[in-house]
Chains A and B, each alone.
Chain A
Amino acid sequence: MLAGTATVMVIDRATFAQSSPVSGGKGYGTDPDLIKEYKPGDFWPLTFTDHQRRTATMLCSVIIPADERSPSAGELLVQDFIDEWISAPYPGHDRDRERILSGLVWLDGESKTRFGRVFIELKEGQQSAICDDICREEVKQPEWVEPSRFFKRFRDLTAGGFYTTREGMLDVGYVGNVPLATFEGPGPEVLAKLGLA
């Protein structure tokens, strides 16, 4: 449990401390309808201005562009999920909100300084010139520390938003969530690759 053991579950305990109060009615509450399908904005108001949304859409698609296997994150509206995330009334989300919104401002500032235009008006190579400087785990320049934290968080949210869509799940080869008569385990091809055939 944890639980219930609890079986092993991955819970980011850091984002909500052990004794943090529940959302006091501002979130979806402790007894939401689990059958219904939801969309961003159903429970709490969203944040992005039109320009922020367009910038986020662009950055989503720079991080996860379209290729032969799947569409871009922007095409799958991951930016709306990010808006939902940073607008949520739960502990930790306020930190993300601050980081993402100030990061988007920084991105435009950096774009103007380097290329004289805001991020969404840059050419692909110009966008990647900026992203190349802030995408690494190891940050070389002190002035890129905070932008790198922004980029890492934005990428994490983009990946979370993208790979939970039907297209994203298919992209990585998730083929479950279908009823089976029997569970056969890894087939001979898998076992051969593991050297256990």
Chain B
Amino acid sequence: MPHISAKDLKSNYDVIVVGSGAGGGQTAYTLAMEGVKVLMLEAGRNYDPASETPMFQENFRAPLRGASTPDKPFGFYDATVDGGWQVPGEPYTNASSEPGRKFEWWRSRMLGGRTNHWGRISLRNGPYDFKPYSRDGLGFDWPINYEDLAEYYDRVEMLIGVYGSNEGLENTPNSSPGVLQPPPKARAGEVFTRHHGRKLGLPVIPIHRAVLSTRLDSKTIPAKLHPRNPRAQSILAQAMDERAACFWATPCGRGCSIKANYQSTTVHLPPALATGNLDILSDAMVSELIMSDAGKATGVKFIERKSRQEMQVKARIVVLSASACESVRVLLNSKSARYPNGVANSSGKVGKYIMDTVGARLSGQIPALENLPAHNEDGAGGGHVYVPWWLYREQHAGKLGFARGYHIEFTSGRQMPGMGTFSPLDWINGGRYGRAFKEDARRYYGSFIGYAGRGEMIPNEDSFCEIDPVVRDKWGIPVLRFHWKWSEHENRQAAHMQQTFADLISAMGGRVRSAPEKDGSKAIEPGGSIIHEVGGAIMGSTARNSVTNQWCQTWDVKNLFLTDGAPFCSNADKNPTLTIMALAWRSADYMLEEMRKGNL
């Protein structure tokens, strides 16, 4: 069973998985490895990282030196296909055009979805992150504890390969022994930050990223992940052997033809396909669920993009993993006399509590980093270190004026020059040209450093999405309309970020590029721009207050599951992808168990 075309669809599957990214990839993987017949529907085109990834291409080979454009917002060589904050022919709307009230929605239309280009930062939620309401009275508690997910974090990390270290810091969980791969050494700017950050009490530690710093141990990991399933073990061992370790070149955002980093297309899908249990149909844009009179989901309607035909396919279980907002859109568009507000929406909560990550940044120039001897700092194509949230005690004592924390990511080093690399020279030298300009470029290259805060947003009643009453996309499917508002918790957190970065740059003897904003609403980046949107179909402990239970199973429709970010009922500062995968694996295990019991 392989990549198929619409005419090869079978009349029935065990499970339909809508979406092929982190959540869909993990769900399909877990089910297919255990013998379940799965159909994956992907709205975008098929995509092959082995032949399509621009490994080693320098910017001079690209149009506009690889600079970002509306066609390729993260630059020409970014892996994203047919995506960005706008997708051609597939609009969305915002209810307000006021500053700070708009939400920007990043999508891609390709097999593997956003996993092909993501930052690969793989941080675990900690114990506090599952019980935020109990801790400070804001937002919602999850119906699970850290302990419920810890085992799945271990499994995902072993499967995809995550580098990092166990530091034992507060609410920053260790992985089980032997799970993490060794982290790469810190770069010059990172080492320098670590040294001077101590004065401010900032713990600079290895970040966790889904990049292989060594080859995966295909002799032992498969048996740990698939006990009592020799076939799955042998398929996974072979898939692991096809992945090379990072060779410390080519930014991860391009994807990776040697499969050194995690993307669904190189890690989840190949072994799942090798089982023979997975069919993948690309160019299949799902529009709505098909429901039975008995209130079960019997399949989905979709538009085959090439023929523009509306088609249907059936299964025992339907899993939406189309990305949080896209899954919400499918639920809300599945309207009928019986479901006037869409499917799985008896609570009225579908679309509510959309969250992104709080983002703010500041950059500076560090004289100590000038004129360093030439050395290779490409590394793993992303940060090697970060600062986890370090002020839990002060925050809990109410000293900070905002309720949730953030972590700090770094941009530093002698990276491959791009269009913006030397733009800050005017700021430093007042504006020169000629031989002096060339000398300055040599002197200051690698001395610029940037810090970005990534913080927790608390779910609120003003940030949600609904179906736009008028606008439809080019397939005729009604689109989403967003409502957005940051609370003072997020704004103050953003101001705190910039002040911290200014203090840090000063502590390093550096110059701050711009003064930190005291007004956080000026520092905070627009909703959606960090591309960590979650929520919209939150999980909870009662059908009245939430859309799914702890298994990502909708309360109203028991054979309907959501395994992307939609069930998140809080959005810790930890980047959500690893948690999406851990929840998806746990949910798929539950499906297997319920199928075995005959309940599904």
Task: Say yes or no: B73 contacts A16, CB within 8 Å.
Answer: yes
Q: Given the interface contacts A30-B82, A172-B441, does A164 sit within 8 Å of B60 by beta carbon?
A: yes
Could you say which of A62, A63, A180, A196 contacts B249, with CB atoms under 8 Å apart?
A180
Interface bracket on A: 35 or more
Smallest Cβ-Cβ distance to A29: which chain B residue: B71
Q: Given the interface contacts A18-B85, A176-B415, does A190 sit within 8 Å of B435 by beta carbon?
A: no
- B120 CB within 8 Å of chain A: yes
Q: Given the interface contacts A5-B532, A176-B416, does A16 sit within 8 Å of B63 by beta carbon?
A: no
Contacts of A91 in B (CB 8 A): 70
Interface string of B380-393 (1 = CB under 8 A from A): 10110000000000
- A70 CB within 8 Å of chain B: yes
Classify the secondary structure of B's interface with A.
loop
Task: Say yes or no: B121 contacts A7, CB within 8 Å.
Answer: yes
- A135 CB within 8 Å of chain B: yes
Could you say which of A30, A37, A166, A195 contacts B72, with CB atoms under 8 Å apart?
A30
Q: What's the least CB distance linking A101 to chain B, in Å?
A: 18
Q: Given the interface contacts A63-B434, A152-B426, does A175 sit within 8 Å of B120 by beta carbon?
A: no
Could you say which of A34, A135, A184 contacts B77, with CB atoms under 8 Å apart?
A34
Smallest Cβ-Cβ distance to B432: which chain A residue: A135
Contacts of B187 in A (CB 8 A): 185-186
Interface string of A38-81 (1 = CB under 8 A from B): 10001100000000000000000011110101100000000001
Task: Say yes or no: B372 contacts A183, CB within 8 Å.
Answer: no
Question: How far, in whole Å, are A108 and B585 apart by their CA atoms in the complex?
Answer: 67
Q: What's the least CB distance linking B260 to chain A, in Å?
A: 11
Task: Say yes or no: A155 contacts B530, CB within 8 Å.
Answer: no
Task: Say yes or no: B452 contacts A30, CB within 8 Å.
Answer: no
Q: Interface size (B, Cβ < 8 Å)?
A: 112
Classify the secondary structure of A's interface with B.
loop
Smallest Cβ-Cβ distance to A191: which chain B residue: B191
- B364 CB within 8 Å of chain A: no
Task: Say yes or no: A69 contacts B58, CB within 8 Å.
Answer: no
Considering only residues 250-302 of chain B, those with a C-beta below 8 Å from chain A are 250, 252-254
Smallest Cβ-Cβ distance to B374: which chain A residue: A173
Question: How far, in whole Å, are A57 and B418 apart by their CA atoms in the complex?
Answer: 21
- B222 CB within 8 Å of chain A: no
What is B's interface to A at a CB cutoff of 8 Å? 45, 51-54, 56-74, 76-77, 81-88, 102, 104, 106, 114, 117-121, 184-188, 191-192, 195, 246-250, 252-254, 359, 361, 368-369, 371-380, 382-383, 409-411, 414-423, 425-427, 430-435, 437-438, 441-442, 445-446, 450, 452, 525-526, 529-532, 575
Beyond A32-B71, A65-B438, A159-B441, 4 extra complex contacts between A and B, CB < 8 Å: A4-B118, A128-B434, A164-B419, A176-B414
